[in-house]
Amino acid sequence: MTTTAGATHRRTRIGLLQVCAAGVLWGTGGLVVTVLHRRDGLGAMTVSAWRMALAAVALAGFAVVTRRSGVVLATLRTHPVLAVVVGVGTALYQALYFGSVLLVGVSVSTVVSLGLAPVLTAAWEHAAARSRPSLREVAVLAAALTGLVLISATAGHGSPAPGGRPGLGIVLAVASGATYAATTLLGHTLAQRVDSVALTTCATAAGTLALLPWLGIALTAGEPVLTAAPASLALLAYLGVATMALAYGLLYAGLRTTSGSAATVATLVEPLSAALLAALLLGERLTAPALLGGALILAAVVALQPAGQDRTAPAAARPGPAQPDRAAGP
């Protein structure tokens, strides 16, 4: 019995590390999005569309090479609705988030959207189990959300566009957080039934179809939709392969053994990763509140380590996208 419990805890720790790794990869995306916007004039949603499309191509190729094509097709046959909803939900989350950013600014959008997901997930878990959260769970969630607020409020984020509508922006941020939580709860359900690579492949394909119309809208509006610069194409490839295909593969693999509340807290390392990267590569100064916020998030993640009992409640975790000036998001 002890051996079985130890093996379960090891799998849970590995799953938590996989989710954290996904958050770190998402955190690197914002710098790339910023570079592509400044260098080539590509908008955040345009980059998101290419990111999803390139991820779908990379995952399809990987499925062929690893002889998983049959598994991918079987996933589409047996769970077509869930696979499509997970992918379209990820695309919708990005659209709602970026719309919120334009109206109310990055900091508020990030805190509301990312902060709402762990709360909704924990509420869902305990409502389904008809239980109350423990004091430890409340403390971990409070520490992580406080850290998120400190990092988001003190980092060098952009302001809302002139003429922004804060009320509508907050509504969109709430909608994006709720969509993120609901989509990843469904993603967790599917992750228990199918291969994580097959799930990621199906979801990104559906998300690509949802976002491709944006390229047509941008083209009609006279906005740049692609670049011919080799360095910029390499950055787009990085976004698709690393921050989408690999990151979501890690996320769904981690969700097989990680509870929803733990996963949504763990992915809050994304804004921490983005802040550290900006300090290292852009020379942005990390303020004392930002450092404290980072420490709180890390402490919360450490506190998520399994202790005594295994939780297998439904899970949700950040799919996505994030800040157009800092994080490309799940």
192-227 confidence digits (pLDDT tens): 899 999 999 999 999 999 999 999 999 999 999 999
Query: Could you say which DSSP state residue 43 is in?
Result: -
Give Cβ neighbours of residue 133 (< 8 Å, ≥ 6 apart).
Answer: 122, 126, 141
- The span from the CA of 59 to the CA of 208, in Å, is 12
SS3 state at 47? helix
Structural contact between residues 198 and 75, judged by C-beta atoms closer than 8 angstroms = yes
| pLDDT at site 318 | 44
From its phi and psi, is residue 308 left (phi > 0), alpha (psi between -120 and 50) or beta? Answer: left
Tell which residue, 197, 5, 177, 212, has the closest CA to residue 88: 212
DSSP H/E element including 221: none
State the virtual CA torsion across 237, 243, 244, 245 in degrees, nearest 10: 80
| pLDDT at site 320 | 43
| pLDDT at site 330 | 63
| pLDDT at site 328 | 47
Polymer length of the chain: 330
Q: Count CB atoms within 10 A of the CB of residue 58.
A: 19
- pLDDT < 50 stretches in the chain: 308-328
Buried b (16+ CB within 10 A) or exposed e, 86-115: bbbbbbbbbbbbbbbbbbbbbbbbbbbbbb
- The span from the CA of 156 to the CA of 274, in Å, is 11
Over the Cα atoms of the chain, what is R_g? 19
Q: Count CB atoms within 10 A of the CB of residue 219.
A: 13
